[in-house]
Amino acid sequence: MEKDITKHKLKKIINKLSKYRGRNTELVSLYIPSGYPLPKVTQQLRDEAGTASNIKSKTTRKNVLSALEKITQHLKLYKHTPKNGLIILCGNISPQEGNPDYKLFSLETPEPMSIRLYRCDQEFVLTPLKEMVEEKDIYALLILERNEATIGLLKGKRIELLDHMTSGVPGKARAGGQSSVRFSRLRDIADHEFRVRIGQHVNNFFLDMLPVLKGIIVGGPGLTKNKFVEGDYLDYRLKEKIGDTFDTVYTEEYGLRELVDKASDSLQELEVMREKKIMKRFFQELIKENGLVAYGEKEIKNALEIGAVDDLLISEALDLWRVKIVCNCGYENILTKTEQDLQKLETEIPEKQCPKCGNLQLEIKEKIELVEELSEKAESTGAKVHLISVDTEEGNQLFKAFGGIAAILRFSMR
């Protein structure tokens, strides 16, 4: 999967949470790091409640105490802190005085969190969470010279030095008595052997990361990098991921940084290229008679159901929810709504008549984002899910002309 659905979902939640404001400093944010004992958290909440009882404003005091109480109650659902950590945000988000609307948001973090934080403010603390969901693409970095090699990793914006190797290949000076032909042949062999050794190290580091590795970027001052890229020194699955090569001057940590600087434009292009490439395949199938494509919510659902989808293309701009409405009389209906329409429906539903029995007993039983529903189905049938941005013309077309959902199929459905 090119972009993480969980993170995509979290981004939307963060966006929503960032809009909430308390009337005063009364929104509580609590970050519990992985492995931190919950009894200590409960104790801290008690202490905070003690402090909050001194707040002068009666409403603020009441709101903070209520939030703390709700958090304490919520924590009782857990035997211990979830594996990666837990974030709880709670408070009165109602814009009207005297008409409180307490909300509690509880999120298990997608990756191990080390931050411990308690804050009571006018808004929720979201920055650490935002940093967590930033796309963290992983690239392998190689700087190759005749006598030296540096292997590194780029994760998001962080560069990590993994290995620095030296060849032991003799330098330019030739030992006395050796013929120059023989010398240069020996050196070629030694150079080749060094590249083999580099290849082994790179395989060792990156084969395990294959599913998340976006590409391999190669740099260096001379021809060694080209010989390495053109030769068969890497596992073929890694070789496929080699992107551009760059001329660089430095080695080790500094060289890795130089390489990332030089590659930054092409890294951005790579993401765009990937999107363009998969969309191009879709358009190529589309114009064929009996092309292996499907689009639109209904067709895609059918295709997923019978396991026909190979690549599912979902626009990041897609903003649809699946909503199940039920009534006591047994009436059931499943609708697709935009987020805005869903909110409208949620406020209007108590006054809506059931089409079957005519009573005012309709309620929303389930709601799930379409992106999520479709990707779950896709993953259970082994289809690949691609979230496509609207940054490219192709991505725009997916959203505007195909309703934001399309697929490349394994077999024809017609």
Q: Which of residues 35-94 bind Zn ion (CB under 5 A)?
A: none
Least spacing, CB of residue 367 vs Zn ion, in Å: 19
**Judged by CB, which is closer to Zn ion: 177, or 330?**
330
Least spacing, CB of residue 388 vs Zn ion, in Å: 40
Which tokens hold the place of 81? 């802190």
Least spacing, CB of residue 333 vs Zn ion, in Å: 10
325 binds Zn ion (CB under 5 A): no
In sequence order, the 6+-apart residues with CB closer than 8 A to the CB of 321 are: 336, 337, 338, 339, 342, 367, 368, 369, 370
327 binds Zn ion (CB under 5 A): yes
Interface with Zn ion (CB under 5 A), residue from 169, 317, 349, 357: 357
User: What is the distance between the alpha carbons of residues 361 and 331, in angstroms, rounded to a whole number?
Assistant: 10
In sequence order, the 6+-apart residues with CB closer than 8 A to the CB of 227 are: 191, 195
Query: For 47, phi and psi rounded to 5 degrees?
Result: -60, -45
Query: For 382, phi and psi rounded to 5 degrees?
Result: 80, 15
Cross-strand partners of 280:
none
Interface with Zn ion (CB under 5 A), residue from 82, 331, 396, 397: 331
Interface with Zn ion (CB under 5 A), residue from 196, 210, 212, 329: 329
**Judged by CB, which is closer to Zn ion: 193, or 332?**
332
User: What is the distance between the alpha carbons of residues 240 and 300, in angstroms, rounded to a whole number?
Assistant: 30
User: What is the distance between the alpha carbons of residues 373 and 323, in angstroms, rounded to a whole number?
Assistant: 11
**Judged by CB, which is closer to Zn ion: 149, or 362?**
362
Among 16-24, 84-92, 202-210, 350-358, the segment contacting Zn ion (CB under 5 A): 350-358
**Judged by CB, which is closer to Zn ion: 46, or 356?**
356
263 binds Zn ion (CB under 5 A): no
Among 54-62, 89-97, 219-227, 351-359, the segment contacting Zn ion (CB under 5 A): 351-359
**Judged by CB, which is closer to Zn ion: 67, or 325?**
325
Interface with Zn ion (CB under 5 A), residue from 298, 356, 365, 400: 356
344 binds Zn ion (CB under 5 A): no
User: What is the distance between the alpha carbons of residues 51 and 373, in angstroms, rounded to a whole number?
Assistant: 44
Least spacing, CB of residue 327 vs Zn ion, in Å: 3
Least spacing, CB of residue 368 vs Zn ion, in Å: 23
Binding site for Zn ion (CB under 5 A): 327, 329, 331, 354, 356-357
